Amino acid sequence: MAMDAERRQAELIAQFSAQAAALSSAPQLAALVLEATSHPALFAFSELLTLPALSKLTGTQYASSLDLLRLFAYGTLNDYKSNSGFLPALLPDQVRKLKQLSVLTLAESTKVQFAAGRDLTPDQLKNMIETLSDWLGTSDRLLHQIQEKIKWADTMSEVNKKHQKEFEDRVEEAKKSIKRMMPAPPAPGYDRLPLFYGGGGGAPSPIPLGSGSYGGPYPHLGMRYGYGPPVGAPGSYGLFSSYGQPGPMSGMGYGPGPELGRYSYGFRGSPMLVSSPWSGGAIAENNDNIASRKRRGGPDGLSEGDWTCPKCDNINFSFRNTCNMKKCGAPRPTPGANTSSSRKDNKEAPEGSWTCPECNNLNYPFRSVCNRKGCSYNKSAPTNN
């Protein structure tokens, strides 16, 4: 709608400009000014003031018509009232239009939703030119800064791409170096590298697998080899113990267990000779229930020189000078002293304490199960005679 109004204004200005160019007498030009200021759709008059034909009214009796045209371009109704003695009388259409132009002038200094603009005075035009020139200069500077930022971003992008390429090349070179440093895979048929085989050079002898019964897989996968004639005939099929005698063995845990050869190993894949943990040749996968792992010697857990604490009956290693039982710390008895006293004779033992019949450990009255590690005797459980 605003564009239609502007287009209409341009058409009317072009029409009156053409009429003024065709007129030459002052009365005709004065009549043209009266028609233009009375037209209900024309509100811009500054371009008509610049027409050379209207300058002919200057210095004539119709010069007031030129002042009236200037009033409609820049003035208000109050300006007309102040200078009505020097201006021609207004027609009703001219009065209505001048009031409308006065309202547009008030809109310049008042907050309104929308208002059409009026003609600019020469001073206002100069200020607008300066403002637009400053805006244009600021826009040029900002555009230059934006272009510089774009160039900088492009440069940094190229640098980042170069660094990324160098990093990827270094990673690839590191991977290749690691591959070159890695040992060769083992030969087919063995689960250990030749470095771990003992008994001289060359591959081990064929492994007899037998044809006995089989069960679940052995939990420790590996291969045991014996270099030399076996001692005795192979035994029956069964699960190999990790403490058993080493010899030819497949990756599974069932097969004949030959006697120990001259050069052999087989303790969970370790290249070392392993024998039974007990002097009697007993084989046990888990010997926690036979004797304490902290003890030395046979299945009874005692060694020469071990001594019994006279206070709590705890059995201590021969190298200890004080009892190792927690909260005891009794000194080692001297040779010849009476060592038969036990904790049950201690005056500090509370009333109702009881002695375990299996390990001779003294327990507090509130305990129903022996507190000695590895014992767990239950005094409330019925005994089998």
pLDDT tens-digit series, residues 39-85: 988 888 888 888 888 888 888 888 898 899 999 998 889 999 998 88
| Structure-token match 């200057």, residue found | 58
pLDDT for res 279: 41
Distances (CA, A) of 73 to 40, 70, 122, 236, 254: 14, 5, 11, 127, 117
| Structure-token match 């009697």, residue found | 280
Which stretches within the chain are classed as H helix?
Answer: 2-22, 26-38, 46-49, 63-74, 77-82, 92-107, 122-181
**For residues 177-191, average pLDDT:** 73
Q: Which residue has the higher pLDDT, 132 or 239?
A: 132
- Checking if the pLDDT of 169 tops 70, the result is yes
- CB burial of 3-22 (b: ≥16 within 10 Å; e: otherwise) equals eeeeeebeebbeebeebbee
- Checking if the pLDDT of 140 tops 90, the result is yes
pLDDT for res 304: 76
- Checking if the pLDDT of 254 tops 90, the result is no
What is the per-residue pLDDT across 208-253, written as a single tens digit (0 to 9) for each?
Answer: 444 444 444 444 444 444 444 444 444 444 444 444 444 444 444 4
Say if residue 267 is exposed, middle or buried (CB neighbours under 10 Å; 0-12, 13-18, 19+): middle
pLDDT for res 111: 80
pLDDT for res 1: 61
pLDDT for res 267: 42
Strand partners, 235: none
Q: Which residue has the higher pLDDT, 99 or 214?
A: 99
- Mean pLDDT for the chain overall: 73
The beta strand positions in 275-384, using DSSP E, are 307-308, 315-316, 354-355, 362-363
Percent of the chain topping pLDDT 70? 64
Strand partners, 341: none
What 3-state DSSP class applies to 191? coil
- Checking if the pLDDT of 302 tops 80, the result is no
Q: Which residue has the higher pLDDT, 23 or 263?
A: 23
Q: Which residue has the higher pLDDT, 256 or 49?
A: 49
| Structure-token match 């375990």, residue found | 356
Q: Closest Cα partner for 105 from 154, 145, 71?
A: 71
**For residues 334-347, average pLDDT:** 51
- Checking if the pLDDT of 264 tops 50, the result is no
Report the sign of the C-alpha dihedral through residues 76, 79, 81, 86, in that order: negative
